[in-house]
Chains A and B, each alone.
Chain A
Amino acid sequence: MAAEKKVILVTGGSGLVGKGLQHVVEQDKRADETWVFLSSKEANLTSLEDTRAVFAKYKPTHVIHLAAMVGGLYRNLKYNLDFFRNNSAINDNVLSTSHETGVKKVVSSLSTCIFPNKTTYPIDETMIHNGPPHSSNFGYSHAKRMIDVLNQGYHTQHGCNFTSVIPTNVYGAFDNYNLEDGHVLPGLIHKVYMAKKEGTPLTVWGTGKPLRQFIYSHDLARLMIWVMRDYNEISPIILSVGEEEEVSIKEAAMAVVEAMDFKGEVIFDTTRADGQIKKTASNAKLRRYLPDFKFTPMKEAIKESCDWFVANYDTCRK
């Protein structure tokens, strides 16, 4: 195929995954690719007018669509309507404008938290719509699921090449380290930092038993770039380490403790909720395409993430 120039617009480009993409793209510059990382400061994607303006400005040929209204458990619980409406608006604006302007490919980002609450394991790409999502974030979840519905519709009706990826728990530099709103690994990193600083024990919320598959943002970025360049299905694809790499929260906590050289006591506050015990996702589909893809070993990736946090404590999101 001739190397036609690509202009790749990344919505939500200043977040955890966007920064991962920026990092990988810097290391693997290609002459035929221009990357544009958009942040919400530049365009409010809930507005069709703003979306069209930003597309007219950059004229993308490809879009990696990461932008969304996101939040932790408590925010979702309180604002299910807003999570549904704002994300539905963002998604419809980005996809319809992509279609109108002849964008060749859109890769949107779903999430394992949108899967049916009652399910068998491991979950796979065919199971997304097989039951209601967890009630705490049903607004967010349904809006994300509708991206898959839109992708199918655009393909059947207009031949568009719009697809989606489903990462499991992502971590890395530039995360959201807020203890209320953030996710488990950045939360642990922040807590170990504070425990070291104040000479207190590390308190991990819950029993430590729940299991998670963690994917380093740099690995996710490399896989998303592969999807953008070479994955041609409309159906979604799970991007994750395998089931055998699932670790408990306790193991994740101990990995952070080791990386940050924390010598204090580790306590488990079992009065706090554990959340889902498992969310095991199958990466069989990914492995059919990329049997040899090597994920960064978790010890190394956690060390890099912790080092980044310590070096950037003053300016990072918390």
Chain B
Amino acid sequence: MAAEKKVILVTGGSGLVGKGLQHVVEQDKRADETWVFLSSKEADLTKQDETQAIFEKHRPTHVIHLAAKVGGLYKNLNSNLDFFRDNMAINDNVLNTSYKTGVRKVISCLSTCIFPDKTTFPVDETMIHNGAPHQSNYGYAYAKRMLDVQSRAYHAQHGRNFTSVVPTNVYGPHDNFNLEDGHVLPGLMHKVYMAKKEGSPLTVWGTGKPLRQFIFSRDLAKLIIWVMREYEEADPIILSVGEEDEVTVKDAALAVAEAMNFKGEVIFDTTKSDGQTKKTASIVKLRRYLPNFKFTPMKEGT
């Protein structure tokens, strides 16, 4: 294929995954690729005219669509309607503007938290719509599921190469380390830092028993770039370490403690809820495409 110039617009480009992409792209500059990292300061993607304006300004040929209204458990619980409507607006504006301006490929970002609440494990790409999502964030979850519906519909009706990826738990620099709103690994890093500083024990919420697959943001970035360059299906693809690399929250906590040289006590506050016990996702599809992809060892990543 001729190396036609690509202009890749990354919406939500200043977040955890966006920064991971920036890092990887710096290390692997290609002459035919111009990368544009968008932040919400530059355009409010819930507005059709602002989305249109930003596409006219940058004229992307490819879009990696990471922008979303996101939040922790409590924010979701109280605002499911807004999470649904705002994300539906953002997604429709980005996909429709991409379609109208002839963007060749759009890769949208889903999440394992949108899968059915009642399910068998491991979850795989065919199971996304097999039941209602968890009640706490159904607004966010359904809006993300509709990204898959729309991607496949743009493909069926217009032959567009719109698709989506499903990462598991991402971690890395530039994360959201807020203890209320953030996710488990950045939360642990922040807590260990505070515990060291204050000479107090590290208190991990829950029993430490739930299992998670953690993917380093830079590994995720490499995989998203591979999807952008080579993956041709409209159906989603899970991007994660394998089932065998699932770790407990306790092991994750100890990995962080070791990485930060924390010598104090580690306590498990079992009055706090554990969340889902497992969310095991299958990467059989990814491994069919990339049997040799090497993930950054977790010790190194943390």
Point out residues on A near B: beta carbons under 8 Å.
78-82, 84-85, 88, 92, 96, 129-132, 138-139, 142, 146, 149-150, 152-154, 156-158
B146 within 8 A of A: yes
Chain B residues 114-167 with CB under 8 Å of chain A are 129-132, 138-139, 142, 146, 149-150, 152-154, 156-158
Point out residues on B near A: beta carbons under 8 Å.
78-82, 84-85, 88, 92, 96, 129-132, 138-139, 142, 146, 149-150, 152-154, 156-158
Please name all residues of chain B whose beta carbon is closer than 8 Å to the beta carbon of A78 when the two chains form the complex: 157
Please tell me if the beta carbons of A85 and B149 are within 8 angstroms of each other in the complex.
no
Cα distance, A153 to B138, chains bound together (Å): 9
Cα distance, A41 to B158, chains bound together (Å): 28
Cα distance, A142 to B147, chains bound together (Å): 11
Please tell me if the beta carbons of A79 and B132 are within 8 angstroms of each other in the complex.
no
Please name all residues of chain B whose beta carbon is closer than 8 Å to the beta carbon of A80 when the two chains form the complex: 152-153, 156-157
Known A129-B131, A131-B130, A146-B146; contact A139-B153, beta-carbon cutoff 8 A = yes
Known A129-B131, A132-B130; contact A84-B80, beta-carbon cutoff 8 A = no
Q: Count A-B contacts at CB 8 Å.
A: 69
Q: List 7 A-B contacts (CB under 8 A).
A: A80-B153, A80-B156, A80-B157, A88-B88, A88-B92, A146-B146, A156-B81
Q: How far does the Cβ of A152 sit from chain B's closest Cβ, in whole Å?
A: 7
Name B80's contact: one of A79, A82, A131, A153 (CB within 8 Å).
Answer: A153
Cα distance, A139 to B152, chains bound together (Å): 9
Cα distance, A218 to B80, chains bound together (Å): 37
Cα distance, A129 to B118, chains bound together (Å): 12
Please tell me if the beta carbons of A131 and B129 are within 8 angstroms of each other in the complex.
yes
Residue on A nearest B139 in the bound complex, by CB: A153
Name B139's contact: one of A81, A92, A96, A149 (CB within 8 Å).
Answer: A149
Please name all residues of chain B whose beta carbon is closer than 8 Å to the beta carbon of A92 when the two chains form the complex: 85, 88
Q: How far does the Cβ of A117 sit from chain B's closest Cβ, in whole Å?
A: 10
Which 6 A/B pairs are nearest by Cβ-Cβ distance? Answer: A153-B81, A81-B153, A81-B157, A157-B81, A132-B129, A80-B153
Name A150's contact: one of B78, B84, B149, B157 (CB within 8 Å).
Answer: B84
Please tell me if the beta carbons of B138 and A149 are within 8 angstroms of each other in the complex.
yes
Please name all residues of chain A whose beta carbon is closer than 8 Å to the beta carbon of B138 when the two chains form the complex: 149, 152
Please tell me if the beta carbons of B149 and A158 are within 8 angstroms of each other in the complex.
no
Cα distance, A142 to B158, chains bound together (Å): 19
Please tell me if the beta carbons of A149 and B142 are within 8 angstroms of each other in the complex.
yes
Name A81's contact: one of B82, B84, B88, B158 (CB within 8 Å).
Answer: B158
Please name all residues of chain A whose beta carbon is closer than 8 Å to the beta carbon of B85 when the two chains form the complex: 92, 96, 150, 153
Please tell me if the beta carbons of B80 and A157 are within 8 angstroms of each other in the complex.
yes
Known A81-B156, A129-B132; contact A139-B84, beta-carbon cutoff 8 A = no
Name A139's contact: one of B96, B149, B158 (CB within 8 Å).
Answer: B149
Please name all residues of chain A whose beta carbon is closer than 8 Å to the beta carbon of B153 when the two chains form the complex: 80-81, 84, 138-139
Cα distance, A196 to B245, chains bound together (Å): 71
Please tell me if the beta carbons of B157 and A157 are within 8 angstroms of each other in the complex.
no
Please tell me if the beta carbons of A157 and B131 are within 8 angstroms of each other in the complex.
no
Please name all residues of chain A whose beta carbon is closer than 8 Å to the beta carbon of B96 when the two chains form the complex: 85
Q: How far does the Cβ of B85 sit from chain A's closest Cβ, in whole Å?
A: 7
Please name all residues of chain B whose beta carbon is closer than 8 Å to the beta carbon of A84 when the two chains form the complex: 146, 149-150, 153
Please name all residues of chain B whose beta carbon is closer than 8 Å to the beta carbon of A132 when the two chains form the complex: 129-130
Q: How far does the Cβ of A95 sit from chain B's closest Cβ, in whole Å?
A: 9
Most chain B CB atoms below 10 A, which of A85, A92, A131, A149: A149
**4 more A-B contacts (CB under 8 A) besides A88-B88, A138-B149?**
A138-B152, A146-B146, A149-B138, A156-B81
Q: How far does the Cβ of B131 sit from chain A's closest Cβ, in whole Å?
A: 5
Most chain B CB atoms below 10 A, which of A82, A88, A129: A129
Please tell me if the beta carbons of B92 and A142 are within 8 angstroms of each other in the complex.
no
Q: How far does the Cβ of B234 sit from chain A's closest Cβ, in whole Å?
A: 12
Please name all residues of chain B whose beta carbon is closer than 8 Å to the beta carbon of A152 when the two chains form the complex: 80, 138
Please name all residues of chain A whose beta carbon is closer than 8 Å to the beta carbon of B130 when the two chains form the complex: 130-132
Q: How far does the Cβ of A127 sit from chain B's closest Cβ, in whole Å?
A: 10
Cα distance, A298 to B81, chains bound together (Å): 42
Cα distance, A294 to B117, chains bound together (Å): 39
Q: How far does the Cβ of A96 sit from chain B's closest Cβ, in whole Å?
A: 8
